C-alpha cells in the first residue's frame, strides 16, 4: 500500500490514493472539481522502500481533486473572568476543503 505524508495548512496528513481528506482552506480562488497539487511532500512509502525528505522530497507531488468546500460545525469560544461580570461568548465555523487523492508521484 503506497502512502505519502504531505504538509498543508500548518498540519501534516498521511494520504493514500483514493483517500478523502479534510484540509485547511487554501489561498487563492478554487472551486469544486479543481485539480490541486501538493508539492510539500515529507515522506513517500511504496511498500518496498521509504523516501524521507529533508524536510521535503524534491520533485515529489501528490495530485488531488477538490470535492467539497464547506465550513465545520459551530464551536462556542468563551472568555470569562470570575467576580467581574465579564463573560463573552462567540461562535466560530472553520472553513475546510475536502479533497480526494488521485495519485502520488
Would you give per-residue pLDDT tens digits along the chain (105 residues)? 899 999 999 999 999 999 999 999 999 999 999 999 999 999 999 889 999 999 999 999 999 999 999 999 999 999 999 999 999 999 999 999 999 999 998
- The answer to whether residues 101 and 36 touch, using CB atoms and an 8 Å cutoff, is no
Assign 1 to helix, strand or coil.
Answer: coil
pLDDT value of position 104? 94
| Domain ranges for the chain | 3-104
The C-alpha cell that represents 1 in the structure block:
500500500
Distance CA 88, CA 78 (A): 6
Q: What is the pTM of this model?
A: 0.85
pLDDT value of position 1? 84
pLDDT value of position 61? 95
Taking the CA atoms of residue 40, residue 12, residue 93 and residue 81 in that order, the dihedral angle to the nearest 10 degrees is -120
Amino acid at each position: 500500500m503506497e502512502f505519502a505524508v504531505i504538509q498543508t495548512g500548518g498540519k501534516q496528513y498521511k494520504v493514500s490514493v483514493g483517500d478523502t481528506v479534510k484540509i485547511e482552506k487554501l489561498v487563492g480562488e478554487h472551486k469544486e472539481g479543481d485539480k490541486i497539487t501538493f508539492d510539500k511532500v515529507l515522506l513517500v512509502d511504496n511498500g518496498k522502500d521509504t523516501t524521507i525528505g529533508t524536510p521535503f522530497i524534491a520533485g515529489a507531488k501528490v495530485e488531488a481533486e477538490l470535492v467539497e468546500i464547506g465550513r465545520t460545525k459551530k464551536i462556542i469560544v468563551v472568555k470569562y473572568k470570575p467576580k467581574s461580570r465579564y463573560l463573552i461568548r462567540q461562535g466560530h465555523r472553520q472553513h475546510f476543503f475536502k479533497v480526494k487523492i488521485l495519485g502520488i508521484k
